[in-house]
Structure 1
């Protein structure tokens, strides 16, 4: 089971985590993970409401900002109620938004009842304004895009920990397999399981709620290809295509799995050591090592090349060595040829 304890949140070199977001006259939230940015904003708002239920919260999109809005929203109030003003999308902000935020930051006497939250997803535009806020002492909350499965698994564990619940490692991995590309859906699936399932959540619970989704994302096909089980891979492929799965993410799921095998094969050490080196869970390394018995290094390399060529062909209609026929052709034929090519009987290593 994933333990119902959490490692205390630690500030990163770039700033605080979303769990450390706190009210201040100006708060900067930077990074491309929208879900975590929203949570940081919500956490600040919750703390302000706990201090004063009468706080008003106003959100303004920087792309549609009108000149003078920030000044109006932060001007002293007749009744002195606390206010929170959130400026979102500063990376896409118009000139008026950036100019008004810059002018506000130069004000040496901000209203103590006002909290201004500046949200910037990254990129050059608006970066100078954000940096000026940080240099002036504004706390910085960093919400980088979550790219690694280990970080997605940690998010799942934290969702259950926050609710005082537990989820097995295999169940958590199944959720990541099904929803990992969409963090909001991943978090929503955790919330549904927490609400609907009594007690600890295991893999059977995930399969009962989201089994069709997990299969349709291509991970069942990837499992079969990784073990070079052609019959199971073909059956899983046809089932996935019958549910209307997009071939491109399906190929990406298989390619990701084979790249994991390549990474594991290139690193020596215990499962835990290899996992730390490549950014995977130890059980995933152990599973990959079992799957590697079905491959020679040359075959694995060739399969990864085939998948890369198929990906390019599906996106651009390029014909590749008779394996695919182009983006406008029958995807079923293309993908079946791909599965046959990657699950051919193992050749002798010698």
Structure 2
């Protein structure tokens, strides 16, 4: 909580401090902006815990800016008889009503002493821009906590690594990669999985522990199929595919996992830069580049191009273009594992 405020390059025009969602600080007005709800919720909860630790009598109130009753903001921020500190959390600012917008702008001119007003704006619309501009101009003595979307694999890896680092918990790199792969489509579930391992496991978190907890995840099975096929282990790849399907895996994410690894290989192929330089330029992690370089062993431009085309066709077929998606998957695995030309 004592970390010094820092300015984000993306909000360099802002006149107020830009804080990390991992180390928020209270202020009369706190703008929590950006689409990543899991980060926004974490930041808001941390603020609540900090304020409550300072004074257990903290009063917490919640308002919706899009379903707002006139006068509510002043009512919940005004001092009570005994002067307890107040935390007011407002959601839906990106859909705020005219009444809320008007009262919030008036509030900025004279924030209530002892109150912390947290405004959540996802950035989904430009609604409330006048309010955001006023806060960022310094009206109200606010701070901003940015919660940008976590979409790229490297962002998800950094997020998960940060979860364990914040808890002073060690997880071996390969276990972390497996965990991120297991929850590649849902950052909220990834956050919950990290917290479960932090809470449950007394020592270091190993590959075996992650496999025991989350080995049945569809995405983990998908990357196992992809890894064995790309390595040319045809028999193992078919066994892994059948195991994944028998465990209830959906063909769509299976194809997506294979296609994702092939695309990374294609992006890395032919470059002579260091892993660090190439990773920085492509928006990947060093280990992703190193893995792609290892995966490229035994591949050439023609076989990689053919595999990518096969993955594109399989993606179409498992999404309704074929009456037998399992056959489409098996044919894709065959093309990749054998490096054979695509058979129509």
The TM-score normalised by the length of structure 2 is 0.87
Please list, as runs of the form range in 1=range in 2, the aligned pairs for 1:326-341 lying within 5 A after superposition.
Answer: 329-341=323-335
Structure 1 residues 27 and 215, CA gap change in structure 2 (3 angstroms): closer
Preserved CA contact (<8 Å) 2:268 2:292: yes
Of stretches 305-314 and 166-175 in structure 1, the one that deviates more from structure 2 is 305-314
Structure 1 residues 127 and 249, CA gap change in structure 2 (3 angstroms): farther
2:32 aligns with: 29
2:14 aligns with: none
SS where residue 294 of structure 1 aligns? Answer: coil
1:241 aligns with: 245
Preserved CA contact (<8 Å) 2:34 2:147: yes
Of stretches 165-174 and 155-164 in structure 1, the one that deviates more from structure 2 is 155-164
2:115 aligns with: 114
Per-residue deviation, residues 315-342 of structure 1 (Å, max 9, x unmatched): 3x34xxxxxx1xxx23212222222333
1:4 aligns with: none
SS where residue 19 of structure 1 aligns? Answer: coil
1:49 CA displacement: 1.4
1:322 aligns with: none
CA distance in 1, matches of 2:74, 2:313: 55
CA distance in 2, matches of 1:296, 1:346: 12
1:215 CA displacement: 5.8
1:255 CA displacement: 1.2
Aligned match for 1:285, one of 276, 284, 289: 289
1:133 aligns with: 135
Q: Which runs of 5 or more structure 2 residues have no equivalent in the other structure?
A: 12-17
Structure 1 residues 215 and 43, CA gap change in structure 2 (3 angstroms): closer
Structure 1 residues 94 and 273, CA gap change in structure 2 (3 angstroms): same
Does residue 226 in structure 1 map to residue 233 in structure 2? no
CA distance in 2, matches of 1:100, 1:302: 61
CA distance in 2, matches of 1:207, 1:68: 53
Q: Which runs of 5 or more structure 1 residues have no equivalent in the other structure?
A: 1-6, 319-324
Aligned Cα RMSD in Å?
2.4
Structure 1 residues 8 and 169, CA gap change in structure 2 (3 angstroms): farther
- Number of aligned residue pairs: give it: 329
Structure 1 residues 126 and 200, CA gap change in structure 2 (3 angstroms): same
Aligned match for 1:143, one of 142, 147, 162: 147
Does residue 51 in structure 1 map to residue 45 in structure 2? no
Does residue 298 in structure 1 map to residue 302 in structure 2? yes
Does residue 192 in structure 1 map to residue 188 in structure 2? no
1:155 aligns with: 159
1:342 aligns with: 336
Per-residue deviation, residues 302-324 of structure 1 (Å, max 9, x unmatched): 32233234334443x34xxxxxx
CA distance in 2, matches of 1:247, 1:127: 43
CA distance in 2, matches of 1:10, 1:167: 28
Does residue 61 in structure 1 map to residue 64 in structure 2? yes
Per-residue deviation, residues 191-234 of structure 1 (Å, max 9, x unmatched): 22223323211111111221122665511112123223332222
2:276 aligns with: 272
Per-residue deviation, residues 13-37 of structure 1 (Å, max 9, x unmatched): 2332112321111110111111110
Does residue 78 in structure 1 map to residue 81 in structure 2? yes
SS where residue 128 of structure 1 aligns? Answer: helix
